[in-house]
Chains A and B, each alone.
Chain A
Amino acid sequence: MPIQIILEKCTGCKLCLKACPFNAIRIEDKKGLPAGRQAVIDLNTCNLCGACVPACKLKAILLEKPDKACIVPDIKDYKGIWVFIEQKKGKVQSVSYELLGKAQELAKQLSCQVSAVFLGNGLDDQLEELVWHGADNIYLIQAPELANFQDEPYTNVLVKLIQKYKPEILLCGATSIGRSLISRVAVNINTGLTADCTGLDIDPEKKILLQTRPAFGGNIMATIISPNHRPQMATVRHKVMQPIAPDKRRKGKIIREQFDSSLYASRTKLLDIVEEVEALINLSEADIIVSGGRGMGGPENFKLLYELAQVLGGAVGSSRAAVDAGWMPYSHQVGQTGRTVAAKIYIACGISGQIQHLVGMQSSKIIVAINKDPDAPIFKVATYGIIGDLFEIIPALTKKFKESLKR
C-alpha cells in the first residue's frame, strides 16, 4: 500500500478531507474504533500527491517514501545555480535575463554562485550583458553546429557539462526551446524536472528548491521538490520573474569548453527557419495588449481593438471563444491553450473571463475589463472594471489617447 491510514490514530476529523485536492478521501462510520469513524482513501482517485499528510495533526497518514536506494549518493557534490541562456540568431532572449535575476536571489539564500550556460556560435558580444544581469560565470560552448537550437546536440552538450561541473540547480525558460530540451536532459541525467514554474524559493532548513506551478488549468497550485536528485531542474514562464537592473561594474569568469564534434551531431536536420508576419506581433513581448472575446460580436469589430492597440503601441489578443468562432487567428489566443502574457496593461473587451483565459493573462500589471455583464468573472481579476458597452467606450478611449499622444 503506497498510502495508508493508521486506524489507531485516525479520529475521522475530516482535516485530510479538506486538504485533498482530488476528493479521494471520505469518512466512513466504523464500529469498534475509538472515534466510531475513520478516513478512507479511494486508491483509484488518489494521486499520491501527499497533500493530506501534513494536514493530519495526528500523523495518522503514512505515505510510502522512496527508499534510500533511489537517492543519488554524491548529492553533496552538486553546487551552484545554472541558467540555460536561450539565444535565437545569436541574441539572448529576455527570459534568460529574468532567470538570471531570480537565480541571483536564490543564490544569496544558498551562498553560491550563478552561472550562465551559453550555447551557440559567435556569441562573444553578448557575454558582458549576461554578467551585468547577474552571471558570475559563463560556460561558453561555441561551434557552428550549435548556431541554432537543435534537440540532440544541445542535450548532449548540456548533459556533459552537468556531469562535469555538477550544478545544484538548473533553470531554463518554459519556451518552445526550453521545454523541448530540458525534458530530454532530465531523463538523460536521471533527475527531476518541474515545468512552467511561477514561483521558486529555497526551503530555509533543507536548502532545497521549492518549485511552485499551476495545474488543472490554473485551478490549483502545487509546490514540488526534487529532494534526492541533482540538479534540481525547473522551467519558468516568460515574464514571471524580474531581471535585475544591469550593473556594469559586475565581473564574471568565462569558461570556454570544446567537445568532440561527435557530440554536436544531430539526427534531425534544421532545413529552414520561417518567421511569420502574423506571429511577429509577439504577444508574449507586448507591453500593452487589447484583447477581445465573444462580446465583440463578430470579426469585423476587432478593427476597433486594432485602432486602440495602434494608438497605444500594443498588440491585439483574443479569447479562445473568439478564435473558435473564427474571428481571430489562433496566434492571437491568450490563455491556457494559447499564449501566456504578462503585459503592463491588459484591456479585456467583451471577455467573460473563464479560468482558462485568466491563467494566461492574470499576471499582467494592470487589467482593464470592459463588459456588459456585471457578473462576468473577468471583473474579479480586473484592476479597473467598466460595466458598459465596449462599442461606445473603445472608440472614445482611442480618440482620447490619440489626442493626447498626437498619434
Chain B
Amino acid sequence: MNIIVCIKQVPDTTEVRINPETNTLVREGVKSIINPFDMYAIEEAIRIKEKLGGKTTVITMGPPQAEAALREAFAMGIDEGILISDRAFAGSDTWATSYTLVGAIKKIGEFDLILCGKQAADGDTAQVGPGISAHLDIPQVTYVKKIEEIKDGLARVERMTEEGFEIIETPLPALFTVVKEINEPRLPSLKGMMRAKQAKIALWTQKELNLDAQKIGLCGSPTQVVKIFTPPPKKGGKIITGETQEVVSELFDLLKSEVN
C-alpha cells in the first residue's frame, strides 16, 4: 500500500484571538500546528502501513515554515515528506490548491490511497479533498469514520452521515477524507523526533511541478476575497438575579411562550 496524506499547517484556532482595538486577528504567539483533522489521516496511514506494509508519504502546500508540520509527521512515523512551496502558489483558493496538490501527486506517481482530514480548522471548507479526487478522477469517500477492510484492491469503509453511517465499498486507488472518530492519533516518539530532525524533506516548486500558470495561485483561483471583517460581538442580554425560586420563575415566564 502506498499511501499519500495531504496535510495543512494551520494556526491553532483555539488560541486565535481578536484584538478588540484593531479588530484584527492576533496571530503573534499563536502556534502553528498540523490541522487537527489531518492528524487522524496521518495516524490512519501509519496504521494501515503497519498492518499491510508499504510506504507513507505526506505532502503539504504552504510557506517554507510549513516544513515544521512535515517534521512533526515524521516524528509520528511517516516515511517521506514533500513540501510544495512557491510564491507562485500564493493566494490559491481550494480549486487552485487541489490542482497544485494533484500536480505533486502525479509527480509522486503510483499510489493506492490518498487520505485527507475532513476539513482544515482555519478555512473549514472541506473542499480540497474532494477537489483532489475530482482532478484525478478517482473515487472518493468523505467523512470516513472507519476503514473496515482493505483487500484485493478494494476497501470497505464506514462513512459518517447526520443519521448514522453508510457502508461503502470502493476500488483503489481512491481518496478518503477522515473524521475524528476514526482513531486516536499517537504522540510522537523520541526516536521519531530524532529521525525527524535529520529527515530530508523534498521541496517542490513551480519549477519542479511545471503546472499551467493559468491554474495556480491567484490567477487559478475562481474565488476572490473582497472583504474580511470581524463579526460584531453579540451583545449580552439580561442577567437574571435573585434566589433560586425567583430566578426559575422569571426564566419560566420568559421561555414558556417558546415551549409547546
Contact = CB atoms under 8 A, between A and B. Distances in A.
**Direct contact, A vs B (beta carbon within 8 Å):** yes
A313 B222 contact: no
Interface in A338-363: 344-345, 354, 356, 362
Nearest to B118: A179
A51 interface: yes
A77 interface: no
Given A214-B124, A267-B139, A22 B27 contact: yes
A132 interface: no
Contact of B234 (A228, A284, A362, A368): A362
B23 to A, nearest CB: 7
Interface string A164-182: 0000000000011101110
A241 B128 CA distance: 25
Interface string B226-247: 1111110111111111001101
A384 B181 contact: no
Interface of A: 2, 17-23, 43-51, 54, 63-67, 69-70, 88, 151-152, 155, 175-177, 179-181, 183-188, 190-196, 210, 214-229, 266-276, 279-280, 282, 284, 288, 312-313, 330, 336-337, 344-345, 354, 356, 362, 365-368, 379-389, 392-393, 396-397, 400-401, 404-405
The CB with the most chain B CB atoms within 10 A, among A23, A188, A284, A356, is that of A23
A267 B247 contact: no
Contact of B16 (A219, A383, A393): A219
B24 A2 contact: no
Given A383-B237, A384-B237, A400-B252, A44 B65 contact: yes
Contacts of A194: 223
Contacts of B244: 388-389, 392-393, 396
Contacts of A192: 93, 95, 221-223
Nearest to B256: A404
Given A2-B87, A272-B167, A282-B162, A385 B98 contact: no
A356 B13 contact: yes
A366 B258 CA distance: 9
Nearest to B170: A268
B123 A187 contact: no
Contacts of B166: 270-274
Question: Which of A183, A393, A397: most chain B Cβ within 10 A?
Answer: A183
A397 B252 contact: yes
Given A183-B131, A274-B164, A151 B218 contact: no
A312 B259 contact: yes
Contacts of A383: 237-238
A354 B91 contact: no
A222 B227 contact: yes
Given A179-B130, A276-B164, 16 more contacts: A21-B24, A45-B63, A48-B90, A176-B160, A176-B161, A183-B130, A190-B95, A219-B17, A220-B231, A223-B229, A267-B171, A271-B156, A337-B180, A386-B239, A388-B244, A401-B259
B122 to A, nearest CB: 5
B127 A195 contact: yes
A213 to B, nearest CB: 8
Nearest to A405: B259
Interface stretch (B51-59, B107-115, B140-148): B140-148
- What's the dominant secondary structure at chain B's contact region? mixed
B11 interface: yes
A366 B13 contact: no
B163 A275 contact: yes
B187 interface: no
B226 A18 contact: no
16 contacts: A19-B24, A49-B228, A51-B227, A192-B95, A193-B222, A196-B124, A196-B125, A220-B25, A271-B167, A271-B168, A274-B158, A362-B234, A386-B241, A388-B247, A392-B244, A396-B248
A18 B23 contact: yes
Contacts of B81: none
Contacts of A49: 225, 228
B126 A195 contact: yes
Contact of B18 (A2, A215, A219): A219
Nearest to A320: B14
Given A225-B224, A382-B237, A216 B218 contact: no
Interface in B135-159: 135, 139-143, 156, 158-159
Interface in B79-121: 87, 90-91, 93-95, 98-99, 121
A152 B236 contact: no
Nearest to A210: B226
Contacts of B27: 22-23, 45
B233 A380 contact: yes
A220 to B, nearest CB: 6
Given A66-B218, A192-B221, A379-B239, A279 B140 contact: no
Contact of A22 (B25, B171, B258): B25
A186 to B, nearest CB: 7
B25 A187 contact: no
Contacts of A337: 36, 121, 180
Of B141, B143, B231, which is in contact with the most chain A CB atoms at under 10 Å from its CB? B231
Contacts of A67: 219
A275 B222 CA distance: 38
A219 B13 contact: yes
Given A88-B163, A187-B134, A219-B16, A345 B255 contact: yes
Contact of B127 (A20, A183, A214, A274): A183
Contacts of A282: 162-163
